[in-house]
Structures are given as structure tokens and as C-alpha cells.
Amino acid sequence: MLRKHKWKIPIVIIGCATIFAMAVLKVPLLEDAVKVVLQEAGMERAVLTVLSKVGLTVPPLPEHCEPVLPPDRVSARRHVVAALHEALARDDLEQAAVLNSILSQEAFQRAYRALKAWEKVRDPGTGLVPKATHPKVAYWDTRDTAADLFPFLLLASQYLDKDNERLWLEALANERQICGPMPCKIHFRPTRVVGEDLPAVIFGASEYAKDGLLAVAERSGRGPWFERLEEVENALIDAAYVQTEAGKICASGTEENGEMLQVLSRLYWATGNERYLEMAERIGEAYLFDIFPKNQYLPATHWDFARGQPMSQDLRFRDHGSEIIPGLAELYLLEKIQGRPQAARYREPLKRLLDAAITVGRTEDGLWYNAVDVTTYEVLDRGVVDTWGYILNGYLTFDMAEGTDVYADEIERVMRAAAARKSVLWEGQSQDGYADSIESMLYLLPWFDIPECHRWVDDEIEVMFGKQLPSGFIEEWYLDGNFIRTSLLYATYKTQGITFEPWRENVRLGAAYDTNKKDLYVYISADADWEGILKFDLPRHRTIWNLPFEYPRLNETPEWFVVEPQENYVFVNLGTGEEFIHSGQQLGEGLAVTLDKERKALRLKVSQP
């Protein structure tokens, strides 16, 4: 066998050396020619594999993409899910809380394993994490690493690893010091800033602000991440260079502008800084009064404001391409609730956008295709959008601003359509499609209590979980952060927003809410002695953002059961019958709990007097 293939060995060696030399000398045509020769000899994969293993070339990312679990799989977890929904059907909320504790424990554990895996590959000089574990992409960039990975490592440490939260806060401080107000791309060993053109810088900064820092602020409120969020957004406003009839804005792309609308609206609610609202209104008016009337009331991926026409005819519903819809809806809600005169002007073009977007590029069951031609409505990419909930957030937000339910039936239709799809290839075999589609459902379930959609989340997340590697990594690149994000969203859904400190892997916490009697059932147990606190969720929409009410928002952690600081709550120990009363303020700060040999588990019912 060795003799049969020994002639190939020198080809591999020569091919490796040649491609490496050509890459270093930056002679791409010769490098490509060598690749063609190797391809003809059937040796290209072998050569590129060798070079990839030693870190000389970048492999196709992600490197790992585990198979999709089949919809007819048999697993122990499925038995737990079946028992849970049987308990819910017979209104056995106490048993449901116990079963939810098993599901939340797994989700927290998986997020923790991913956190510890990425902790090991931090750059020793800066504490920052690379875009991927492969040495060829060992750098920090704003559009991917900063936006999708780092913030959820920080959030996971706040939930699960408080002793090491300082590592991620130090990394944040180092990033600020290296880059200054505007985020930047950073190469490691030695540490150096990599220059990018202004559009690339702005795109990355808008991603970092909205997908990353905003997510931490939504859960944790004020802190260094909130300061960095404001700093980045102010730098973006200062860098605005795209001239429109409404004034200068930061970008011609729908993605960046949709992201900025969401961040600016929330920052204005939180701070009252008129600068944020002024820029949000500029962006909003550029779309509502300039782009939409010229483009059949649909956005385009990029718009040429000088010529008043799209740079390309595509509208991307997938991923962030449609975020202009919830972005404009958030701006409209702000204007409407605060009684500002712009609300009346914004309403008609926004409503026309919503009505147009709901009629084009859709599958028979109501989901959206990835991309359509905005002129002909021809489907350009027949992949099905995994971020359908991002779009629907805009429709529900508009209804809430109006005090209507005009789009409620359509929202429910899409939710049921998603719940009918099991183990589908949202984004090929990548876990990110499952992370985003489950995230989409979790944003909407607080308003649409549909049993089959709850069941779908409980079942479908196992497909995502099945992609985690024994090492704790998932795909060993930046989108592992979205796995952590959705794991944490799911875990807190199963605990109704309650967390416990200190977190430990062998402690289980679950909760179930009786929507009719307004009672919350809580279960916590430990395999060994544990002493700590249960922290109940507060109305973060108000305490963090000064919002008048909760509405569905991208990158938020949904509110499930929240306690009002000034209200009192009656607790019943279901094991002993003992009753006691605590204020919401006390519960938000933490309810002391001890589990030991005498009391290995605690079962509670919580209600208002």
C-alpha cells in the first residue's frame, strides 16, 4: 500500500512548500495554478489539510459541524420533555417545575462548558478571544468576535462563573484602551491594530454595539459594557458620512442602519440624550421618506442616496438584513408613547413597509425566504430564514404602539409554521440556524402562549445541544457565542428568570407559572450541601431602560416572572406548609436558601397576597 502511493508523498511535500511560499510572497496567481495542478492529481485536500494542521492556511470555517440529530431520535431527554408536557396538560405545575430544573441544568452546564473552553484560548497579552481557534484566524474583529462571541462569554461568566468575570472585564478594558472610542481589529502576538476602511469600521462597530454590548446591557444593566456601548454609539454618530436628505447617517446598508435604530432608541429611553434620538430620526426619515417611496416601500440591502436608487436589487430577510423592520418599529413606538409629533408622520410609511414585507418572499406556510428581488419579487435565495422572529418583533412592536392586534394572526401563523419544522437545515448543518430560530421563538412566547411552540423549543434545542463537542467547543469559531446565548435564554426560560448564586453544576433550579391562578412554582435541589441565594427577576425594561412596558426586542433576555420591588409576595413551602412574606426588593436582591442532608430540595409556591 505504501509503495503504491509513495509517489504522492513528494507531491504533497512540494505542494505544501509551494503554496506556503506563494502565500508568504503574495503571488496569488501562481498559488492558484499550483492548487489546480494538485486538484488534478487528487491531492489538493491532502496538501491543504497538512498546511491547515500546522496553521499555515485557513480551513473552511467552521472546522467542526456535527451531523443534525434526526427528528425521530430516541433519547433520555425526550422522555423528560414528554413528561413535562404531560404534567403541563394536567396542570401539575409542581411536577413541571421539577422537570424544568433538569432541562435548565443541562442548558446552564452546556453554556459553562463552552465558556471554559474559550477561556483557554484567550490571548495572553490582551485577554481577548480570537475569531476562531485555528491559528490563522487568531485575531479579534468587531463584526464577528466582538459582536457574537465575547459578550456572551462575559454574560456566561456573570451567570455561572462570577470568580472569573474579572477576566472578561479586563479584556473589555484592554479592548477600549487599544482601540479608543471606535472599535478596531486587533492582531495578537504582537498586539497591533489592523487598519480598515471607514465602511468596514462602521459595520463592525454597529455589530459590536447591537449584537454584543446591547445584549449584556439588556440583562445586566449599567456597567463597563454599558459605558462602552455609549462610547461606541457616540463614535459612530461622529463618523457619520453618508449624506441623505435628512442629514448625515453612518451607512448606506440596511443592516447597519437597522442595528443602529435599535441601539439608539433604547439608549434614548435610558439616558434622555437628544443626540441619540436625533440620529435615530435621521436614519428613520431616510428610509421612511426617501428610500421607501422610491422602492415599493421595501428596503434594499444597500442604497445609493446620491442617485436615489438601490445599489443592488436584493432584499435580504435572512439574519440582520431585515432588522430595519424592528428598528423602525422601535423608533415609532418611542415617538408614539412619548407623544412626539413625528409619530403621525412616521405611521403611514411604516405601515406600508409592514404590509409590503408581509406579502413578498414567503413560503407557503408563512416563513420568509432568505432573499428576494425588490422589483420583481423573484426569490433569489430559497433558503428559509432562521431569524423569522427578528422580523415578527417589528410587527408585534407596531401593534403594541398602536394598541391593536392587527398582525397577531400572522405572527401566530409564522410561529406555528416554524414549530412544524423539526431538525431542518436552517443554515446547513451549522448550529447557528438552530440557535437563531429557537431565539426567535423565545422572543415571542411571552405574548403568544402556544403549547406546540413551547414543545418545539424544548425538543428542537436538543438538536443544537447535540452539536457540542466533548471539549466544550461547538464549532470552534465565533458563532459558538450564539450557542451560549441561546443556551442561557433557554435556561432562564425554564427557571422563569430566577437565577441562583453561587452557580454550581450539581444544583438544579426550575420553575413553572400558572397563568390562570398567577402562582409560580419553584424547585431547587442539590446533590451536595449548597448555601446561596435565589435571585428573582425584576422588570428590567423599566429598571434598565425606563421603558413604559415590556415589548419584544432583539438581544434582550425576555422577562418571564418578574417581581415588583414595592410589592409583597407570599411564599408557601410545599414540603412543610410554612408561609412567609418577602418584598419584591428582597427577592430581587436574593432569597437565602440552604440545602443539606436534612433538606436536599426545596419546593415553593409564590403568589401575591
- Is the overall model pTM greater than 0.75, yes or no? yes
Residue 40's pLDDT is 57
Residue 509's pLDDT is 98
Q: Is 262 among the domain residues?
A: no
Query: What residues does 602 pair with on adjacent strands?
Result: 524
Choose the weakest-confidence range: 49-53, 335-339, 579-583.
Answer: 49-53
Q: Is 21 among the domain residues?
A: yes
| Concatenated DSSP letters of 469-495 | -TTS-SSSBTTHHHHHHHHHHHHHHHT
- In this structure, which amino acid lies at residue 196? E
Q: Is 39 among the domain residues?
A: yes
Residue 188's pLDDT is 96
Query: What residues does 140 pair with on adjacent strands?
Result: 186
Instruction: Inform me whether the pLDDT recorded for 409 exceeds 50.
Output: yes
Per residue in 110-161, pLDDT (tens digit) is: 999 999 999 999 999 999 999 999 999 999 999 999 999 999 999 999 999 9
Across 223-246, average pLDDT: 98
Rounded to an integer, what distance in angstroms lies between the CA atom of residue 216 and that of residue 253?
Answer: 25
Per residue in 412-423, pLDDT (tens digit) is: 999 999 999 999
3-class SS string, 489-530 = HHHHHHCCCCEEECCCCCEEEEEEEECCCCEEEEEEEECCCE
Q: Is 207 among the domain residues?
A: no
Residue 2: pLDDT band with limits 50, 70, 90: very low
Instruction: Inform me whether the pLDDT recorded for 263 exceeds 50.
Output: yes
* 123 touches 185 (CB < 8 A): no
Q: Is 528 among the domain residues?
A: no
Per residue in 193-213, pLDDT (tens digit) is: 999 999 999 999 999 999 999
Instruction: Inform me whether the pLDDT recorded for 11 exceeds 70.
Output: no
Residue 16's pLDDT is 57
Q: Could you list the residue range(s) of the whole structural domain that residue 36 is in?
A: 2-53
Q: Where are the alpha helices (DSSP H) in 295-341?
A: 324-337
Backbone φ and ψ for 315, nearest 5 degrees, come out as: -120, 120
Q: Is 314 among the domain residues?
A: no
Q: Is 237 among the domain residues?
A: no
* 460 touches 438 (CB < 8 A): yes
Q: How many domains does the chain have?
A: 1
In 209-364, at which residue ranges do the beta strands (DSSP E only) sit?
242-244, 247-249, 303-304, 309-310, 314-316
Per residue in 422-443, pLDDT (tens digit) is: 999 999 999 999 999 999 999 9
Rounded to an integer, what distance in angstroms lies between the CA atom of residue 457 and that of residue 435?
Answer: 10
Q: Is 212 among the domain residues?
A: no
Residue 63: pLDDT band with limits 50, 70, 90: confident
Mean pLDDT of all residues in the chain? 93
* 398 touches 343 (CB < 8 A): no
